[in-house]
Structure 1
Amino acid sequence: MMDNMDQQQTTHTVEELLDLIRLSLDGQIYVKMKNNRELQGRLHAYDQHLNMLLGDVEETVTSKESDGEIYEEMYKSTRRHIPMLFIWGDGVVLVVPPPRVG
């Protein structure tokens, strides 16, 4: 039978890729999506397909615009706050968990 210390150590180890996501539950994560969309929010739930439920989300969408007169490309970022957001895993490019301490 595992004592409490062994059990606690087992729940904080990373053996599979999705363990990093599991350890990020209730933490702030950064998610880069297709179409120049970036999200930062609190991870509430996820599944093996990287479908995720985020709360208190800050979304940043970056678009490239061309100025027809001077032929210069400009980048424009739009930000908005979303209280709760479901992310479809097919659009996920990158997930950055919060920094691990210890």
Structure 2
Amino acid sequence: MVDDVDQQQTTNTAEEPLDLIGLSLDEGIDVKMRNDRELRGGLHADDQHLSMILGDVEETVTTIETDEETYDEIYKSTKGNIPILFVRGDGVVQPLR
């Protein structure tokens, strides 16, 4: 019985940095992507390359435009919802828990 408790505690701890993502399975996660994209959704699966399957995803894309008269930068955000999404790990900049 003690062995079962020790094994359960080992699986619920992070020994390496990427283990933190695995602890977020079936929970919400924020992911910062290349090209000023951010994703927020439930983590269903992940691998060692940071590839992920997310569900009920809210995607935010930020674009920067320059006003032609004043040369001020104008930030615009566009949001969308995606039921399920496969994210390739090479596009991930930073996973946030």
TM-score higher than 0.5: yes
Note the C-alpha offset of 1:2.
4.9
| Deviations 1:26-55 (CA, angstroms, capped at 9, x unpaired) | 110010001000000000011111111000
TM-score by length of 2: 0.93
Paired residue for 1:61?
61
TM-score by length of 1: 0.89
Paired residue for 2:72?
72
Matched-pair identity in %: 65
Asked whether 1:3 is paired with 2:3, we answer yes
Q: Which secondary structure state, in structure 2, belongs to the residue aligned with residue 14 of structure 1?
A: coil
Deviates more, 1:78-87 or 1:11-20: 11-20
Moved over 6 A (4+): none
| AA aligned opposite 2:57 | V
Kindly tell me the number of residue pairs found equivalent between the two proteins.
97
Distance in 2 (alpha carbons) for counterparts of 1:2 and 1:43: 31
Distance in 2 (alpha carbons) for counterparts of 1:61 and 1:76: 8
| AA aligned opposite 1:53 | I
| AA aligned opposite 1:45 | A
Paired residue for 1:87?
87
The 5 Å alignment of 1:32-47 reads: 32-47=32-47
Distance in 1 (alpha carbons) for counterparts of 2:74 and 2:28: 30
Q: Which runs of 5+ in 2 are unaligned?
A: none
Note the C-alpha offset of 1:3.
2.8
Q: Which secondary structure state, in structure 1, belongs to the residue aligned with residue 94 of structure 2?
A: strand
Distance in 1 (alpha carbons) for counterparts of 2:40 and 2:27: 10
